[in-house]
């Protein structure tokens, strides 16, 4: 499809979305929650149709097994989608909250009030459930959303969308609160990324190449997850048993998530006695290692790490190891190689912990906890649409609150500046 036609299609979607968003923004909380529960019921009712549509996608897909697994829906996964919408309905209302309030000497009362953002564009790859999760969080937070799933999951996306629209209409909300881009033409993505003033925020969910394309091309603000090169720093003042337990979880609980630790930094003062213990622990869990020279002087069997290794997000059972001389050196390593995502220090020394917490430039810093806690559910957000690695508006897990913005309400009695 040529650019002009794609832009025309996107203008139609965004016009409808903006009108729907205006109604959604002023709809009572109960109406949005009813829509979510009705959508959940509709997904259960349409379970067979959704699975059939998904089989068409799976049959047509020519992709890796891992990708195929993410693409494939099962009755359990369909039920999880429905349950997810009900869980979001049960979360506290995010709109209308008074975030701050103050009065000026001239008597003006100022309030910062939480409001919806408007129209959100969601661009995601294979997993069809992402569309349902995003729709749920957007409806609850008063935002209209335009979904652009992967071309491989278009049948699934449409079937899920039909059920969500059933829920919206049952609650008397506009169908255009949730729309799906009509076909898998890539020109639609460019049109979305260029829709400044029509789409308020783009959230990409997928591989590095997708996220990088979005960040490169977007004329619209983007909340994206770039990289999670997380560090766990074991300080000389660490409780050894705690350090062993936390590091094992941070690296090996799940190696494929962005909050997984990729690099171990350990103080030179304890490395000779303690590093061999940690390596044995992790080896027992199936972990491989690359290490700097100082670490290899202690554990000769470790492979040598290159500069590039310390800049690599393994997302695998592999750990980079560097020996450092205290907090400042650990912070310098993180500043040089880190991705501003999540870092942890393990220590009983509060002074060291405070210096570390204040010294990183990351969205999340932890003291005596596993980096794998960087998660909307674990933070208590109830649900998340993703994790943001940028610095503005939202950092870390993106939940309902992060899908709102604010406006200033100024109440006067006829004040003029004069």
Point out which residues bind its own copies (CB under 8 A).
22, 25-26, 102, 104, 108, 110, 117-118, 196, 200-201, 215-216, 219, 221, 239, 242, 245-246, 248-250, 253, 335, 357-370, 372-373, 378-380, 390-393, 395-396, 405-418
Q: Are 290 and 318 in contact (CB under 8 A)?
A: yes
Q: How far apart, in Å, are the Cα atoms of 81 and each of 68, 115, 334?
A: 18, 26, 38
Distances (CA, A) of 119 to 80, 83, 213: 26, 25, 20
Q: What is the DSSP letter of 269?
A: T
Closest separation in Å from C-beta 67 to its own copies: 26
- In the chain the first and final C-alpha atoms are separated, in Å, by 56
Give least dist CB 382 to its own copies, A.
12
Least distance to its own copies, CB of residue 151, Å: 27
- The DSSP 8-state label assigned to residue 26 in this structure reads T
Minimum distance between the CB of residue 342 and its own copies, rounded to whole angstroms? 9
Alpha carbon separation from 274 to 268, 296, 300, 356 (Å, rounded): 10, 13, 14, 21
CB of 240 to its own copies, least distance (A): 11
Q: Which is nearer to its own copies, 135 or 202 (CB)?
A: 202
Please report the DSSP string for 224-281 in residue order: ------EEEEE-TT--HHHHHHHHHHHHHS-TTSTTSEEEEEEETTTHHHHHHHHHHH
Closest C-alpha to 134, from 404, 406, 388, 384? 384
Closest CA to 138 of 316, 349, 363, 403: 403
The helix (H) or strand (E) run that includes residue 135 is: helix 129-140
| Residue of 235, 243, 190, 199 lying closest to 217 (CA atoms) | 190
Least Å distance between CB 370 and its own copies? 5
CB-nearer residue toward its own copies: 60 or 410: 410
Nearer to its own copies, 22 or 158 (CB): 22
Query: CB–CB of 31/171 below 8 Å?
Result: yes
Nearer to its own copies by Cβ, of 104 and 288: the residue is 104
The answer to whether 73 touches 51, Cβ cutoff 8 Å, is yes
The β-bridge partners of 109 are 103, 411
Q: Least distance (Å) from its own copies to the CB of residue 75?
A: 27
Nearer to its own copies, 66 or 109 (CB): 109
Between residues 76 and 414, which has the closer beta carbon with respect to its own copies?
414
Give the residue with the Cβ less far from its own copies, 45 or 108: 108
Q: How far is the CB of 221 from its own copies (least distance, A)?
A: 5
Is residue 57 within 8 Å of residue 155, measured between CB atoms? yes
CB-wise, 110 or 268, nearer to its own copies?
A: 110
Show the tokens assigned to 304.
């040598």
Tell me the closest approach of the beta carbon of residue 310 to its own copies, in angstroms.
Answer: 17
Nearer to its own copies, 67 or 373 (CB): 373
């Amino acid at each position: 499809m040529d650019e002009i036609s794609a832009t025309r299609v996107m203008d139609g979607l965004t016009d409808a979305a903006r009108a729907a968003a205006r109604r959604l923004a002023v709809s009572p909380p109960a109406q949005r929650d009813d829509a979510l529960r009705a959508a959940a019921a509709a997904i259960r009712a349409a379970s067979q149709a959704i699975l059939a549509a998904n089989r068409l996608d799976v049959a047509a897909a020519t992709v890796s097994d891992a990708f195929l697994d993410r693409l494939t829906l099962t009755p359990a996964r369909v039920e999880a989608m429905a349950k997810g919408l009900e869980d979001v309905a049960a979360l506290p209302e995010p709109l209308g909250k008074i975030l701050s309030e103050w009065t000026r000497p001239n008597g003006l009362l100022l309030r910062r009030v939480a409001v919806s953002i408007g129209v959100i564009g969601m661009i995601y790859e294979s997993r069809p459930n992402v569309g349902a999760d995003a729709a749920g969080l957007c409806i609850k937070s008063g935002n209209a959303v335009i979904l652009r799933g992967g071309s491989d999951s278009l049948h699934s996306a449409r079937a899920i969308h039909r059920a969500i629209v059933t829920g919206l209409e049952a609650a008397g909300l506009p169908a255009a609160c949730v729309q799906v881009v009509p076909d898998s033409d890539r020109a639609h993505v460019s049109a979305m990324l260029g829709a400044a003033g029509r789409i308020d925020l783009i959230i990409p969910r997928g591989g590095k190449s997708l996220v990088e394309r979005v960040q490169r091309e977007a004329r619209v603000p983007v909340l994206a997850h770039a990289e999670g090169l997380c560090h766990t720093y074991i300080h000389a003042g660490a409780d050894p048993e705690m350090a062993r337990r936390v590091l094992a979880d941070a690296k090996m609980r799940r190696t494929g998530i962005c909050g997984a630790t990729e690099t171990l930094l350990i103080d030179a003062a304890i490395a000779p006695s303690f590093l061999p213990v940690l390596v044995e622990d992790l080896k027992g869990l199936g972990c491989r290692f690359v290490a700097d020279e100082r670490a290899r002087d202690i554990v000769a069997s470790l492979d040598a790490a290159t500069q590039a290794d310390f800049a690599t997000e393994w997302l695998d059972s592999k750990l980079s190891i560097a020996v450092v001389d205290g907090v400042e050196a650990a912070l310098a390593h993180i500043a040089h190689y880190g991705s501003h995502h999540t870092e942890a220090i393990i220590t009983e020394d509060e002074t060291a912990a405070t210096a570390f917490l204040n010294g990183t430039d990351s969205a999340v810093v932890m003291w005596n906890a596993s980096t794998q806690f960087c998660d909307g559910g674990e933070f208590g957000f109830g649900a998340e649409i993703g994790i943001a690695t940028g610095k503005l508006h939202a950092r870390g897990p993106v939940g309902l609150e992060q899908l709102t913005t604010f406006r200033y309400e100024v109440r006067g009695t006829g004040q003029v500046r004069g």
